[in-house]
């Protein structure tokens, strides 16, 4: 199959039939529906920082099933700016202390939590108690307990909870899942994955333990961890790790760089890395019995592509990953079906990341249940 020459529609047709049994892959087919929606799901964005401003709000304009209905912000000047830019009525503008008043607002169906990691539970719980579905950014939270609280509160409210794993909707990652799960190059044996970047401002919340939960692993290493899980289709049963800090002033609370290895029940081994203090890391490579394939870059908003050992390119047409993710969640709500990226998926990553930190701390391999 020559991936480069395939249209997205052909790809979706092939991939959704071939991979219908894969929870990771299944999500894409649903975002490809072309019928006009009867009702658009109203999203309120909680946290109007970088991601909301540059990705999510623009992506909402590209959705079929969603609309930007409201905002939650602690800054009145941001409220004014967003109100003017997106025509949001005053009655749909909230702050973090009056979110419970959303209960009386039928314009808002979903709260998309885009605040620092350590506030996801607080804002998710407020939204759920106001009777709203929740889409929370990754990482789900900074502890297993807080993830579980988010799941419990949404369940109690009878509302859906999804985690913002945009790559579950990205055609090139999806094609790699197909290559791995269908054993196109034989059984997978080894996965290498890494994601990192050079972090700037030393005062930002990403370097503070209470708000971030950890360093590069929680922020971007999670993409490498996710890749090992969706490519293997398995959960790791052992992890070992170590961290390093070469700038103890900037990285006084969280790790600067980390490497970890994990072993999966079938015998697949993964070798992963993440950093906040170097560039050029953002790919994966899968080695199988009779060949290999890679993606470099693998985790970007746009331009992910790869190569197979037989010389074929993996280069499907770019999509708006955030629009696909939100459209899929909207359809889950409209059709009353479960999301492919539920809170339980976010919880699994946080459990594994806590085991990775434990290994780095103790110098011992940690076994996962
Ligand atoms: P940001 O710092 O740009 O924005 C965070 C927002 O939260 C700001 O508007 C800030 O005012 C608000 N906030 C509310 N209470 C706060 C507090 N006590 N301290 C600091 N800020 C507070 O961050 P971001 O890059 O937009 O990231 C937000 C979330 O999105 C994080 O969980 C991050 O991991 C996630 N994220 C996901 C992706 C992705 O590709 N899915 C990309 C970037 C960020």
Distance 120 CA to ligand 1 centre (A): 10
Q: What are the φ/ψ torsions at residue 295 (nearest 5 degrees)?
A: -135, 125
Domains of the chain, first to last: 37-166 (3.40.50.720), 171-317+342-367 (3.30.360.10)
| Predicted confidence (pLDDT) per residue in 220-279, tens digit | 999 999 999 999 999 999 999 999 999 999 999 999 999 999 999 999 999 999 999 999
Ligand 1 binding pocket includes 327 (Cβ within 6 Å): no
Question: What is the Cα–Cα distance from 66 to 69, expressed in whole angstroms?
Answer: 9
Ligand 1 binding pocket includes 49 (Cβ within 6 Å): yes
The pTM assigned to this predicted structure is 0.93
Distance 111 CA to ligand 1 centre (A): 14
Assigned token pair, 100 = 């419970």
Q: What is the DSSP pairing of strand 188-196 with strand 110-113?
A: unpaired
Task: Round the CA-based radius of gyration of the chain to a whole number and report it.
Answer: 20
Question: What is the Cα–Cα distance from 229 to 270, expressed in whole angstroms?
Answer: 10
Ligand 1 binding pocket includes 48 (Cβ within 6 Å): yes
> Exposed, middle or buried: residue 26 (CB in 10 Å: 0-12, 13-18, 19+)?
middle
What is the chain's pLDDT, residue by residue, as a tens digit (369 residues)?
333 333 333 333 333 333 333 445 443 444 444 555 578 999 999 999 999 999 999 999 999 999 999 999 999 999 999 999 999 999 999 999 999 999 999 999 999 999 999 999 999 999 999 999 999 999 999 999 999 999 999 999 999 999 999 999 999 999 999 999 999 999 999 999 999 999 999 999 999 999 999 999 999 999 999 999 999 999 999 999 999 999 999 999 999 999 999 999 999 999 999 999 999 999 999 999 999 999 999 999 999 999 999 999 999 999 999 999 999 999 999 999 999 999 999 999 999 999 999 999 999 999 998
Q: Establish whether the linkage from the previous residue to 292 is cis, with ω within 30° of 0.
A: no
Selecting among 126, 132, 138, 340, the annotated active-site residue is: 138
Secondary structure E strands in 118-268: 133-136, 161-163, 188-196, 238-244, 257-263
Give the H or E element holding residue 178.
Answer: helix 171-181
> Exposed, middle or buried: residue 121 (CB in 10 Å: 0-12, 13-18, 19+)?
buried
Q: Is 223 assigned a catalytic role? A: yes
Ligand 1 binding pocket includes 123 (Cβ within 6 Å): no
| Predicted confidence (pLDDT) per residue in 18-43, tens digit | 333 344 544 344 444 455 557 899 99
Q: Across the beta sheet with 366-367, what order do the strands follow?
A: 313-314, 306-308, 291-295, 282-288, 188-196, 269-275, 257-263, 238-244, 366-367
Per-position b or e across 78-110, b if 16+ CB within 10 A of its CB: bbeebeeebebeeebbbeeeebeebeebeebbb
Q: Is 138 assigned a catalytic role? A: yes
């Amino acid at each position: 199959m020559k991936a480069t020459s395939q249209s997205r529609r052909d790809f979706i047709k092939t991939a959704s039939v071939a991979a219908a049994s894969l929870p990771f892959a299944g999500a894409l087919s649903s975002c490809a529906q072309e019928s006009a929606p009867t009702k658009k799901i109203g999203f309120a964005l909680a946290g109007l920082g970088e991601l909301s401003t540059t990705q999510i709000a623009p992506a909402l304009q590209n959705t079929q099933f969603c609309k930007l209905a409201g905002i939650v912000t602690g800054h009145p000047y941001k409220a004014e700016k967003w109100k003017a830019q997106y025509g949001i009525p005053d009655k749909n503008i909230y702050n973090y202390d009056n979110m419970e008043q959303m209960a009386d607002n039928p314009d808002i169906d979903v709260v998309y939590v885009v605040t620092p990691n350590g506030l996801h539970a607080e804002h998710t719980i407020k939204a759920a108690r106001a009777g709203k579905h929740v889409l929370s950014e990754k990482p789900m939270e900074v502890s297993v307990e807080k993830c579980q609280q988010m799941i419990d509160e949404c369940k109690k409210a009878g509302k859906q909870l999804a985690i913002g794993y945009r790559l579950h909707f990205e055609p090139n990652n999806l094609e790699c899942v197909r290559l791995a799960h269908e054993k196109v190059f034989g059984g997978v044996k080894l996965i290498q994955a890494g994601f990192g970047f050079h972090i700037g401002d030393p005062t930002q919340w990403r370097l503070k333990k209470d708000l971030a939960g950890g360093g590069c692993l929680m922020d971007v290493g999670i993409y490498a961890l996710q890749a090992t899980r969706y490519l293997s289709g398995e959960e790791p049963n052992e992890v070992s790790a170590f961290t390093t800090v070469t700038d103890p002033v900037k990285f006084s609370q969280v790790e600067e760089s980390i490497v970890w290895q994990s072993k999966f029940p079938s015998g697949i081994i993964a070798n992963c890395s993440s950093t906040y203090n170097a560039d050029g890391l953002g790919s994966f490579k899968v080695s199988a019995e009779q060949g290999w394939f890679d993606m470099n870059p693998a985790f970007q908003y746009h331009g992910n592509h790869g190569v197979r050992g037989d010389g074929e390119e993996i280069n499907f047409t770019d999509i708006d990953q955030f629009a696909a993710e939100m459209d899929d969640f909207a359809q889950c709500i409209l059709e009353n079906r479960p999301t492919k990226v539920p809170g339980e998926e976010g919880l699994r990553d946080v459990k594994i990341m806590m085991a990775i930190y434990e290994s780095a701390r103790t110098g011992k391999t940690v076994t996962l249940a």
